[in-house]
Amino acid sequence: MSDASRIKTALVKNSIPELRSMSRLRELQHNPLQFLSTLTQEYGDIVQIKLFFWPVVIINHPDYIKHVLQENYKNYDKNVPIFNLFRPILGNGLVTNYGGESWLRQRRLMQPAFHRQRLTTLGQLISTATLQQVQHWESKAREQQPVDVAEEMMQLTLNIVGQSLFSLDITSKTTTFGTAFSQANAFLLEYFNRPFPPLSVPTRRNRNFQKDIKSLNKVVYEIVQQRRNNQSQEEDLLSMLIEARDEETGEGMSDQQLRDEVMTLLIAGHETVANALAWSWYLLSQHPEVEQRLHNELDQVLAGRTPTLEDLPQLPYTRMVFEESMRLYPPVWIIMRKSLGEDTIGDYSIPANTYVAWSTYAMHRHPDFWEQPENFYPEHFTAEQVAKRPRHAYIPFSHGPRICIGNNFAMIEAQLVLATIAQRYHMKIVPGHPVEPNPLMTLSPRHGVLMNLYPR
């Protein structure tokens, strides 16, 4: 009996509901968000499917997710199709590293750059970069020219990451980098559904993908080389990476290692926040009562001045708006692990070498844990509501030892960007412009978010 057959047999013996319908499984390829959202309604909080040749257990309960991410995290690594798919772009950076000592060394090396004390120095940088980004909106607002706020947020957050983590102004490179990544991202999702021919075969599709990788690499290697040639010592993450030495050999990181880490930080550090902000602007435009309450808070607390880091504790509704946006449209919409050994999740036995996956998109809309699961309702994040809810019902940054290293940075950045722009502009979606989620590496708006700007 093959390994796959043994795994499948073991799972069936332990009575995990199994989805066998081929038509439903095809829905996973064509509409994965809808597919994952309906599984709980039909099968409960745990179900097994077959993804190509792989048995996969899909979970959708806070206790199950907590077990995998925190209680027995050492039994679950990232050697899974979802993360391996993006290795051509991210290499062996912090996000895609399987785990163990290699990942732990990477995490320990980078952690000081994200300490709260260091983040307090970045508030002014974020607000200034945001003001610079929206300066050219003034003429567009006067001339009633719409703006794609999804694209604008991509450029802004990429610039902020460049300055805050690498002390570099990469404004001139943001368009090239963003375009290349978007195209490579879309290609990989298509390739996941149709993995043929191999990437090594020089088809037109594969050549275009390799061209995008070269464009991304060019930006990253220029960042690394610029710092190597710079005699001044910046106290930032890039310096930490370049100066890092192996405890046993004394060797520093190779250019390939540096490339993987810088690429991971550039992409993970801007793509997730940018998409969450784009969804925030869209949701605010659809809910004028929420937008008005946000404006009222900003006007009362800031009285027209640019927000600072010190203002954030006095802007709770601003935070709630952003958290609710990430609930409905979590940037990382699906997560997967592989069991290294046998385990038990809830009352169900999980064999070794089993893929376990869960959708944050589906978990964040689970009717057992959210008062208004399908509605934009920032009151989900009042202190009282948060206290009543299981911690792992809301996991936009994952959780446990492998929680996103930049989660605090992302929250500070997003709140300052949201406050800085919302106190200056009221936005409305361009009539007829389609807005729908596109589940790539992150959950992005498929056609952007085209909006008309109205100065306040």
* Span 259-278, pLDDT tens digits: 999 999 999 999 999 999 99
**Residue among 363, 367, 343 nearest 354 (CA):** 343
Pairing of strands 355-358, 443-445: unpaired
In the chain, the domains with their CATH numbers are 3-455 (1.10.630.10)
Of the CA atoms within 13 Å of residue 103, those in its CB half-sphere come to 16
Per-residue pLDDT, 133:
92
Q: If you average pLDDT over residues 171-175, what whole number do you get?
A: 89
Task: Read off the tokens for 162.
Answer: 């460049």
Report pLDDT for 14: 63
Rounded-to-integer distance, Cα 60 and Cα 365, Å: 10
What does each C-alpha distance from 398 to 46, 66, 229, 342 come to in angstroms? 19, 10, 37, 23
Position 30 scores a pLDDT of: 84
Given CA atoms 261, 265, 266, 271 in this order, what sign does their dihedral have?
A: positive
**Which backbone phi and psi does 415 adopt, to 5 degrees?**
-65, -40
How big is the CA angle at 44 (ends 325 and 71), to the nearest 5 degrees? 70
Residue pLDDT, tens place only, 352-379: 999 999 999 999 999 999 999 999 999 9
In this predicted structure, the answer to whether residue 206 has a pLDDT above a threshold of 90 is yes
Alpha carbons 407 and 412: distance in angstroms, whole number? 9
For the chain, give percent helix, strand, coil, nearest 5.
60, 10, 30
Mean pLDDT over each residue of the chain, to the nearest integer: 91
Q: Which tokens belong to 279?
A: 């969804």
Are the C-beta atoms of residues 354 and 49 closer than 8 Å to each other? no
Who has greater pLDDT, 27 or 88?
Answer: 88
- Please give the Cα distance from 42 to 36 (Å, whole number): 10
Reported as a pLDDT band with limits 50, 70 and 90, residue 249 is confident
Would you tell me how many other CB atoms lie within 10 Å of the CB of residue 164? 23
Q: Which range is least confidently modeled, 175-179, 225-229, 283-287?
A: 225-229
Residue 35 reports pLDDT greater than 90: yes
User: Do you find a cis peptide bond into 396, omega within 30 degrees of 0?
Assistant: no
Strands 335-339, 76-77: pairing is antiparallel
pLDDT value of residue 231: 62
Binding residues: 404
- Rounded to whole angstroms, the Cα distance separating 429 from 149 reads 10
| pLDDT computed for residue 194 by the predictor | 82
Q: What is the pTM of this model?
A: 0.92
Q: How many whole angstroms separate alpha carbon 31 and alpha carbon 326?
A: 20
Give the model confidence (pLDDT) of 1-18 as tens digits.
445 444 444 444 468 989
Partnered with residue 335 across adjacent β-strands are 358
Q: What is the pLDDT of residue 233?
A: 67
Pairing of strands 355-358, 54-59: parallel
pLDDT at 424: 96
Specify the pLDDT at position 110.
Answer: 87
- For residue 1, the SS3 value is coil
The pLDDT tens digits for 126-168 are 999 999 999 989 999 999 999 999 999 999 999 999 999 888 8
Q: Helix, strand or coil for residue 242? A: helix
What is the distance between the alpha carbons of residues 197 and 425, in angstroms, rounded to a whole number?
Answer: 48
pLDDT score at 1: 41
- Binding site feature residues for heme: 404
- What pLDDT does 6 receive? 46
